[in-house]
C-alpha cells in the first residue's frame, strides 16, 4: 500500500518546461564555473608542476598528465554546454559529471558545500528527463518533444534544494552562530549602507546577518513548498542570494541557488509565461501549447524497474539525510568542528583566521634543522586547517625531499589558528613527527590539540581591547594568542614594525630575547619587543597563558600574518570573480590548444609561472 502511494506520487506526470529552465540555467552557470572556480584556466598551475602536493580523498586517486587534464576539463566543459543546450543529454551529463567528481575527489583543498551541491545536481539531471523541452534533443526527436516527465524528476531536485536550506538552518543552531560570533565586520559592507542610517553595525551583524540568516535558512524551504507563501519566500530568498553575491566571493553559488528557486513553482509556469508574451516575442520562444499525451492516466504505468528505481531514490534520500551527520563515523576528518568539510551544510558557521604556519624539517642523519617555505609544493593554504591534509602534506614533502637525497628526515608542523574570534592557538601538537604519527579516517586524531573553549568567554573582552588599540592610530595592530603549558612560540618582529609590545592577559610566560635577555611576565605585565630580533615566549603556568601583541606598522610587516586591523574584513575565498570572464576563457582555450599540439604533433609545452 505504501509503495503504491509512493509510486503514484513519484510517477505522476508533470510538464517538462520548469525542469528545462533549471537544466538550462544550471548548464549555463557550469559553463562559466568550469573556467573560474573549477580551475580550467589554471590547469597548468594545478597539474603542470609534478613537484606539487595533491590532497585526494583516496590516495589511489592520481592526477593525469597536464595535457590529459586539459582534455578532461575540455570534456567537462563540453558536457556543461550539452546540458545547457539539451544535446545528447545523457552523454552530456556523463561527460560533465564524471570528470567533475574526479577533479573534486582529486583535491580536498577545493572542497566546499557549493562544489558538492553542483556535483549532486549533475547526478540528478543525469537520471532525469530534463531534455524534453527547449532542447536540441527535443527538436530532433519528436517522440520526446514536450513529453511529460515523472514527478520524481522534480521531487529529487526540490528535496536537495530544500535540504540545502533546512540543514544550513539546523547547523546555525550552533551557539557560535546564534551568539553572533561567526560573521564579524560585515555590518560595514556597502550592501548595508541604507540600513546604517538608523542601525548600528553591531545590530546589523547580529539581527540581520546571524538571526535573519538563521530564520531564513531554517524556514524558507517550507515557505517555498506552500503555494500561498511562495511569492514572499521567492522574494526573500532572491534578496538573500543577491546580497550574498555582493558580500562573499563564493563563485556561482548564489546564482545556482537563484537558478533552482523556480523549480518550486508550478511545473508549467514557463509555458504560461510564454503564452502571455506579445505575439512577436512568442514566435521566438519555445512552443507553449503543444503537448504530447503519452497516456490517458495522469500517473505513468508501473514498469518492471519501478521498485528498483524507488529503492535507488530512497537510498539517495537517506544518504543525503545522513551524510551531514557522519562525523561520529569519519572522526579522523574532524578538527575543532565536527563533520567532513564539503558536505556538512554548515555554511558560514565557522570563521577561521590563520596567524602563521611553521614547517620544520629535521635531518636525522646530521641533526640539521631547516624551515620550509609553506608556499612551496602547494597552491593554497587550505591544507593547514585539517589534520588529514596536514598528514598528507608531510608525507608529500618527504617524497619531494627524497628526490634531493634527504631520505631520513622528521617533519613537524606548527599551525596557529583562531575560530570565530577566539585567541590564536595551536591546531596540532608541534612536537609530533608527522611521518611517524598515526592517522585514520575512522578514529580521532591523537595529535590534534583541543580547542581552548574555557577561554571562549574572553571574546567580548578581546573586542573591547581591539577597539582600544585601533583608537591609538590608523596603523595600530593587535593579535591575541593563547598557548598550552610547557610550549613555546618563536616569533620575529620585522624592521618596519614599531612600538611592538607583549601584554599577558592570563597565566604566566617567560620571554626570551635573542640577545640573551630573559624575563617572567605575569597577568597585566608588559614588555617591549625589539625589531629585527627573534624572541621566544614560553608558557610557564600550569594553565594556558593568554597574551596580546600590539604594534604599529603595516599588516604585511606584522609579527602575526593575520593580526587584526581596523580595516579587517571577513575572510573570503580567493576566486577570480573580479576578473573578466573572457580572460579565464581565453586562458582555457590556449591551454587546450597547447595540449592538443603536444599530443598530436609533439610540440613541447610552454609552462607559465604563477
Q: What angle do CA 565, 569, 574 make, to 5 degrees?
A: 120
Calpha distance 343→111 (Å, rounded): 9
Calpha distance 188→180 (Å, rounded): 15
Contact 551, 568 (CB under 8 A): no
Output the CA torsion 379→64→395→481 (10° steps): 20
Calpha distance 214→205 (Å, rounded): 12
Between helices 152-171 and 113-126, what is the axis angle to 10°? 170
Calpha distance 535→568 (Å, rounded): 26
DSSP-derived letter for residue 188 is T
Q: What angle do CA 341, 345, 349 make, to 5 degrees?
A: 85
DSSP string across 436-467: T----TTS--TTBPPP-GGGGGGHHHHHHHHH
Calpha distance 440→175 (Å, rounded): 29
Burial class (CB in 10 A: 0-12, 13-18, 19+), 208: middle
Q: Which of 172, 271, 398, 587 is catalytic?
A: 172
Sign of the alpha-carbon dihedral angle for 257, 261, 264, 266:
negative
Calpha distance 241→514 (Å, rounded): 52
B/e letters for 98-111, b = 16+ CB within 10 Å, e = fewer, are bbbebbbebbbbbb
Contact 544, 485 (CB under 8 A): yes
Calpha distance 274→136 (Å, rounded): 19
Task: Find where cell 609534478 sits.
Answer: 50
Calpha distance 537→485 (Å, rounded): 11
Calpha distance 186→243 (Å, rounded): 12
- Concerning whether 172 is annotated as a catalytic residue, the answer is yes
Contact 107, 56 (CB under 8 A): yes
Between helices 66-85 and 89-106, what is the axis angle to 10°? 140
Catalytic machinery residues: 172
Amino acid at each position: 500500500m505504501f509503495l503504491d502511494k509512493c509510486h503514484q506520487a513519484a510517477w505522476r506526470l508533470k510538464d517538462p518546461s520548469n525542469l528545462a529552465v533549471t537544466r538550462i540555467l544550471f548548464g549555463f552557470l557550469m559553463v562559466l564555473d568550469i573556467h573560474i572556480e573549477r580551475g580550467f584556466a589554471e590547469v597548468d598551475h594545478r597539474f603542470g608542476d609534478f613537484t606539487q602536493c595533491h590532497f585526494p580523498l583516496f590516495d589511489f586517486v592520481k592526477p593525469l598528465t597536464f595535457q590529459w587534464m586539459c582534455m578532461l576539463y575540455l570534456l567537462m566543459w563540453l558536457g556543461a554546454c550539452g546540458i545547457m543546450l539539451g544535446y545528447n543529454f545523457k552523454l552530456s551529463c556523463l561527460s560533465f559529471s564524471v570528470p567533475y567528481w574526479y577533479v573534486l575527489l582529486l583535491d580536498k583543498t577545493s572542497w566546499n558545500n557549493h562544489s558538492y551541491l553542483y556535483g549532486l545536481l549533475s547526478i540528478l539531471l543525469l537520471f532525469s528527463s530534463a531534455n524534453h523541452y527547449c532542447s536540441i534533443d527535443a527538436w530532433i526527436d519528436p517522440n520526446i518533444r514536450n513529453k511529460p516527465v515523472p514527478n520524481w524528476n522534480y521531487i529529487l531536485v526540490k528535496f536537495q534544494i530544500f535540504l540545502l536550506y533546512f540543514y544550513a538552518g539546523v547547523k546555525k543552531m550552533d551557539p557560535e552562530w546564534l551568539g553572533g560570533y561567526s560573521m564579524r565586520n560585515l555590518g560595514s559592507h556597502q550592501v548595508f549602507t541604507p540600513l546604517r542610517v538608523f542601525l548600528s553595525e553591531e545590530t546589523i551583524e547580529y539581527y540581520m546577518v546571524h538571526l535573519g540568516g538563521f530564520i531564513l535558512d531554517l524556514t524558507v524551504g517550507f515557505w517555498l513548498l506552500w503555494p500561498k507563501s511562495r511569492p514572499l519566500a521567492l522574494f526573500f530568498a532572491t534578496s538573500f542570494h543577491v546580497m550574498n553575491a555582493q558580500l562573499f566571493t563564493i563563485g556561482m553559488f548564489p546564482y545556482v541557488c537563484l537558478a533552482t528557486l523556480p523549480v518550486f513553482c508550478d511545473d508549467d509556469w514557463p509555458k504560461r509565461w510564454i503564452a502571455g508574451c506579445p505575439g512577436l516575442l512568442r514566435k521566438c520562444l519555445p512552443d507553449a501549447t503543444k503537448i504530447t499525451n503519452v497516456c490517458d492516466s495522469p500517473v505513468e504505468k508501473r514498469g518492471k524497474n519501478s521498485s528498483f528505481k524507488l529503492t535507488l531514490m530512497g537510498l539517495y534520500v537517506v544518504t543525503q539525510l545522513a551524510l551531514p551527520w557522519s562525523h561520529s563515523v569519519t572522526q579522523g576528518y574532524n578538527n575543532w568542528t565536527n563533520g567532513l568539510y564539503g558536505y556538512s551544510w554548515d555554511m558560514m558557521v565557522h570563521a577561521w583566521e590563520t596567524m602563521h604556519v611553521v614547517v620544520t624539517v629535521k635531518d636525522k642523519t646530521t641533526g640539521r634543522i631547516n624551515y620550509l617555505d609553506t608556499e612551496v609544493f602547494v597552491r593554497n593554504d587550505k591544507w593547514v586547517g585539517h589534520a588529514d591534509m596536514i598528514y598528507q602534506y608531510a608525507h608529500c614533502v618527504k617524497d619531494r625531499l627524497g628526490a634531493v637525497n634527504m631520505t631520513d628526515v622528521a617533519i613537524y608542523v606548527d599551525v596557529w589558528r583562531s575560530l570565530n574570534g577566539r585567541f590564536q592557538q595551536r591546531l596540532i601538537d608541534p612536537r609530533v613527527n608527522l611521518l611517524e604519527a598515526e592517522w585514520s579516517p575512522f578514529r580521532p586524531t591523537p595529535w590534534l590539540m583541543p580547542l581552548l573553549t574555557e577561554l571562549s568567554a574572553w571574546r567580548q573582552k578581546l573586542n573591547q581591547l581591539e577597539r582600544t588599540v585601533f583608537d591609538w592610530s590608523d596603523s595600530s595592530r593587535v593579535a591575541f594568542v593563547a598557548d598550552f603549558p610547557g610550549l613555546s612560540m618563536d616569533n620575529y618582529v620585522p624592521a618596519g614594525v614599531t612600538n611592538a609590545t607583549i601584554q599577558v592577559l592570563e597565566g604566566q610566560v617567560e620571554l626570551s630575547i635573542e640577545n640573551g635577555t630573559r624575563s617572567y611576565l605575569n597577568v597585566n605585565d608588559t614588555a617591549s619587543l625589539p625589531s629585527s630580533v627573534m624572541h621566544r615566549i614560553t608558557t610557564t603556568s600550569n594553565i594556558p597563558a593568554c597574551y596580546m601583541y600590539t604594534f604599529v606598522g603595516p599588516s604585511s610587516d606584522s609579527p602575526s600574518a593575520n593580526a587584526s586591523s581596523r580595516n579587517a574584513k571577513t575572510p573570503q575565498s580567493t576566486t577570480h570573480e573580479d576578473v573578466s570572464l573572457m580572460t579565464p576563457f581565453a586562458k582555457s582555450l590556449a591551454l587546450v590548444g597547447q595540449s592538443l599540439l603536444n599530443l598530436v604533433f609533439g610540440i613541447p609545452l610552454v609552462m607559465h609561472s604563477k
